[in-house]
């Protein structure tokens, strides 16, 4: 049964506070349970980012779009940007199951797209679980163009513990610092096809990802080395709920085929376990068969598929 909206109003913000986080997370749980889907909202990352911003670094861009009925949050859409200003803006949203088919999602989408255009975004990507009938239908209706899919995978701890942990010798790991920003940008270009502009001495103006700033937001980047040569990297994140995330893992082409990817992955898992992660998850592009097979062989299992659509 559709509930009537009697006291609708919108709240638009540049970043989240703790109260916003809790309201959005409660709505996320309701929608995920009702639709049996996964939502990629990046709430922990966003809250950590907001808490570590200082007064002189506050941004004016609007990233959080909340739709209320009285005191109840019944709709939400958020904008995320990873890796600097050259990267696509990612948007994800949801509407309370009992308040759908009243134009809430369309209104939020209208506001979000206008904000993205104001920023002159080179690309806008809408994320939708493959199993979301309403989400997939809406994106088809607005002629969004399918781009790619990404598997979300969780570690089966029992399977992982039975694996042979012998690793190639001589690999060391160190936390990345801001001086590594250009190297990380270069690796992202190799692994994920970043179309970053040529390097510029002023990293902050270009929006290059700065590792020390990312660590304040909860994402720690590690550089993998062998015999003083950089061979790859991995990004690790712990959420407040106890889930550890592995992102941005890669081995440079000239070092592949030596078991280094497995070594970096195992390092990430062990590091997150040391941090008391109760669950370990990662995401991988569906077309990346090599990485997908590696993760499966290390005990990870597919739990959901996220589709990415470009908004023209």
Q: Place 197 in a pLDDT band, splitting at 50, 70 and 90.
A: very low
Q: Please choose, from the candidates 208, 219, 248, the residue with its C-alpha nearest in 3D space to the C-alpha of residue 44.
A: 219
Residue 150 included in any domain = no
Residue where a domain terminates, one of 143, 165, 189 = 143
Q: Is the pLDDT of residue 31 over 80?
A: yes
Contact between 286 and 157 under an 8 Å Cβ cutoff? The reply is no
Q: Place 216 in a pLDDT band, splitting at 50, 70 and 90.
A: confident
Residue 245 included in any domain = yes
Are 170 and 274 members of one domain?
yes
CB count, 10 Å around CB of 265?
22
Distance of alpha carbon 71 from alpha carbon 229, whole angstroms = 56
Return the CATH number at 42: 3.40.630.30
Residue where a domain terminates, one of 112, 143, 174 = 143
Residue 3 included in any domain = no
Q: How many domains does the chain have?
A: 2
**Conformational region of residue 115, where left means phi above 0, alpha means psi within -120 to 50, and beta covers everything else:** alpha
Are 280 and 300 members of one domain?
yes
Tokens of 39: 């939502």
- Going through the chain in order, the beta strands assigned E by DSSP cover 8-13, 64-69, 72-80, 89-95, 124-129, 145-155, 171-175, 219-226, 229-238, 243-251, 279-285, 300-310
Distance of alpha carbon 279 from alpha carbon 107, whole angstroms = 36
Averaged confidence pLDDT in the chain: 89
Are 41 and 119 members of one domain?
yes
Stretch 283-293: mean pLDDT, rounded?
Answer: 89
Distance of alpha carbon 138 from alpha carbon 113, whole angstroms = 15
Q: Is the pLDDT of residue 206 over 50?
A: no
Contact between 104 and 125 under an 8 Å Cβ cutoff? The reply is no
Per DSSP, the three-state class of 237 is strand
Stretch 273-297: mean pLDDT, rounded?
Answer: 92
Provide, rounded to the nearest whole percent, the portion of the chain with pLDDT above 70: 91
Positive or negative, the Cα torsion across 118, 8, 43, 60? positive
Q: Place 192 in a pLDDT band, splitting at 50, 70 and 90.
A: confident
Whole-structure pTM value: 0.81
Its domain, for residue 89, covers 8-143
Are 296 and 160 members of one domain?
yes
126 phi, psi to nearest 5 deg: -100, 135
Q: Which residue has the higher pLDDT, 217 or 13?
A: 13
Q: Is the pLDDT of residue 200 over 50?
A: no
Residue 312 included in any domain = no
Are 127 and 182 members of one domain?
no
Residue where a domain terminates, one of 143, 178, 202 = 143
* Least confident range of 37-41, 97-101, 159-163, 196-200: 196-200
Are 189 and 101 members of one domain?
no
Residue 203 included in any domain = yes
Contact between 246 and 234 under an 8 Å Cβ cutoff? The reply is yes
Per DSSP, the three-state class of 91 is strand
Are 165 and 300 members of one domain?
yes
Are 225 and 123 members of one domain?
no
Determine the longest span between alpha carbons in the chain, in angstroms: 66
Beta strands 243-251; 229-238: pairing state = antiparallel
Are 135 and 164 members of one domain?
no
Residue 87 included in any domain = yes
Residue 311 included in any domain = no
Return the CA Rg of the chain.
Answer: 20
Stretch 257-274: mean pLDDT, rounded?
Answer: 94
Are 110 and 214 members of one domain?
no
Are 257 and 188 members of one domain?
yes
Residue 149 included in any domain = no
Are 60 and 187 members of one domain?
no
């Amino acid at each position: 049964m559709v509930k009537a909206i009697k006291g609708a109003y919108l709240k638009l913000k540049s970043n989240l506070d703790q109260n916003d986080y809790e309201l959005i997370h409660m709505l996320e749980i309701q929608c995920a349970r009702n639709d049996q889907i996964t939502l990629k909202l990046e709430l922990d990352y966003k809250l950590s980012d907001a808490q570590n911003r200082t007064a002189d670094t506050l941004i004016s861009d609007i990233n959080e779009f909340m739709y209320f009925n009285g005191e109840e949050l019944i709709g939400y859409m958020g904008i995320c940007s990873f890796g600097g200003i050259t990267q696509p803006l990612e948007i994800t949203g949801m509407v309370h199951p009992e308040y759908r088919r009243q134009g809430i999602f369309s209104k939020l989408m209208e506001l979000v797209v206008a904000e993205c255009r104001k920023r002159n975004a080179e690309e806008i990507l809408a994320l939708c679980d493959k199993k979301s009938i309403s989400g997939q239908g809406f994106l088809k209706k607005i002629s969004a163009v399918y781009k790619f899919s990404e598997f979300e995978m969780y570690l089966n701890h029992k399977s992982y513990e039975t694996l042979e942990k012998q690793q190639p010798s001589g690999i060391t790991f160190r936390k990345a610092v801001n001086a590594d920003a250009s190297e990380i940008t270069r690796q992202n270009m190799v692994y994920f096809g970043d179309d970053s502009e040529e390097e510029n001495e002023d990293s902050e103006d270009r929006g290059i990802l700065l590792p020390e700033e990312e660590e304040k937001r909860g994402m720690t980047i590690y550089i993998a080395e062998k015999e003083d040569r950089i061979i790859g990297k991995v990004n690790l994140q712990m959420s407040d709920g106890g889930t550890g995330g592995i992102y941005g893992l890669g081995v440079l082409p000239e070092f592949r085929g030596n078991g280094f990817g497995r070594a970096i992955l195992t390092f990430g898992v062990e590091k997150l376990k040391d941090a008391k992660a109760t669950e370990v998850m990662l995401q991988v592009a569906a077309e990346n068969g090599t990485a997908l097979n590696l993760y499966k062989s290390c005990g990870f299992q597919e739990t959901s598929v996220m589709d990415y659509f470009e908004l023209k």
